[in-house]
Amino acid sequence: MSTRIYARIAGTGSYLPPTALTNNDLVARGIDTSDEWIVERTGIRSRHIAADGQVTSDLALEASRKAIAAAGIEADKIDLIILATSTPDYIFPGTACLLQSKLGVNGAAAFDVQAVCSGFVYALTVAEKFIRSGSHRCALVVGAEVFSHILDWNDRNTCVLFGDGAGAVILEASDAPGVLASALHADGSQHGILEVPGNICGGRVVGDPFVKMDGPAVFKFAVKVLADVAREALDQAGMDAAGIDWLIPHQANVRIIQSTAKKLGLPMEKVVVTLDRHGNTSAASIPLALDAAARDGRIRRGDTLMLEGVGGGFTWGAVLLKF
């Protein structure tokens, strides 16, 4: 009888650029806001900004090296690289391929996933399917963003929210359960509430190259779908929310996080919150939070984790797993 194949996280890593901008730093730049206003409405106190010339694959490389070290493997063991980002280095090649080159390994399948803030959940779900199929054994799954490149620093509705960073995991084939369930969804009719409505044509920018967001609409949408998709994943696994040891949500807004936890009946003591230190890092936010909690000892082997995200597209999803 053949042994069933599971996919389990073997190591985590993350990276934040050294330069941090506090809310007061933004005020000093002339942005019409205040530390109190930002903290009260979002929970964000600071965010990290990539240095000039520092691109998404650079951040991804640092996070990946840490995940590889934590997993105790050599990079050449990786046979699949999936990188979630909305801020690629180039139009093409994919940032996953550029990361592969910087890691010094060749031959493994490598591609990008673009689902904005849900990107890491999408990428992790895709990687798990590859491993469960038996076609691949060791995946590097990364969420990395340099959102500072697409922010209008005169728009206080967006520039105070986002930051740069990267998070990564090594997902390996295992005979012990790891990923227990996952659910992914999208509603393209909602694209207008969060988007960058621009592109390159004929060597020039066509449209608007900056993040545009309808904050109240995003809040309302996120609060509904995050609780629903978490329950969907729990139902797939035959569990209820009481079985969750840690909720690791997309780090966008503390009020969204609190509302989701309340709907699931989870105390905030079971929720990993890191957005106060790095703001909304889009696809990087969930693996950043996961790595922070794994390294400080909150998350331990055998814990049941719920990872969930929602972002432009509109996309949303959840992954339930044993760490």
Question: And the tokens for 114?
Answer: 């673009």
Of 159, 165, 194, give the one whose Cα is nearest residue 278.
Answer: 165
- Tell me, what's the pLDDT at 257? 98
- Cα angle, residue 283 at apex, residues 19 and 96 outer, rounded to 5°: 95
Check if the beta carbon of residue 178 is closer than 8 Å to that of residue 9. yes
What's the CATH architecture for 6-176? Answer: 3-Layer(aba) Sandwich (3.40)
Q: Do domains 6-176 and 180-322 have the same CATH topology?
A: yes
- pLDDT of 126: 98
Check pLDDT > 60 for residue 2. no
Burial, 231: exposed, middle or buried (Cβ in 10 Å; 0-12, 13-18, 19+)?
Answer: middle
Contact 16, 145 (CB under 8 A): no
pLDDT tens-digit readout, 236-256:
999 999 999 999 999 999 999
Quick: pLDDT tens for 70-92. Answer: 999 999 999 999 999 999 999 99
Over pLDDT 90: what percentage of the chain? 99
Per domain, the residue ranges of the chain are: 6-176, 180-322
pTM above 0.85, yes or no: yes
Strand ranges for 97-149 from DSSP E: 109-113, 138-146
User: Among 185, 170, 75, 83, which residue's Cα sits nearest to residue 131?
Assistant: 170
Cα–Cα distance, 322 to 52 (Å, whole number): 39
18: cis peptide before it, omega within 30°?
A: no
Give CA–CA dist 47/286, Å, rounded: 15
Q: In angstroms, rounded to a whole number, what is the distance separating the alpha carbons of residues 224 and 233?
A: 15
When the candidates are 3.40.50.10800, 3.40.50.170, 3.40.50.12780, 3.40.47.10, the CATH number that belongs to 180-322 is 3.40.47.10
The per-residue pLDDT for range 110-154, each reduced to its tens digit, is 999 999 999 999 999 999 999 999 999 999 999 999 999 999 999
DSSP 140: E
Q: 3-class SS at 306?
A: strand
Note the pLDDT of residue 116: 98
Number of H helices, E strands in the chain: 9, 15
Confidence (pLDDT) at 237: 98
For residue 309, the model assigns a pLDDT of: 98
End-to-end CA distance of the chain: 26
Q: What are the tokens at 298? A: 């909150």
Q: Assess whether pLDDT exceeds 50 at residue 307.
A: yes
Cis upstream peptide for 323 (omega within 30°): no
Give the C-alpha separation, 210 to 51, whole Å. Answer: 19
Distance of CA 222 to the CA centre of its chain: 15
Nearest to 127 by CA among 176, 168, 185: 168
Residues labelled catalytic: 117, 250, 280
* Percentage with pLDDT > 70 across the chain: 99
Predicted confidence band at 1 (pLDDT cuts at 50, 70, 90)? very low
Give dist(CA 178, CA 156) in Å, integer: 41
Mean pLDDT, rounded, of the chain:
97
Q: What is the pLDDT of residue 3?
A: 81
189-223 pLDDT, tens digit each: 999 999 999 999 999 999 999 999 999 999 999 99
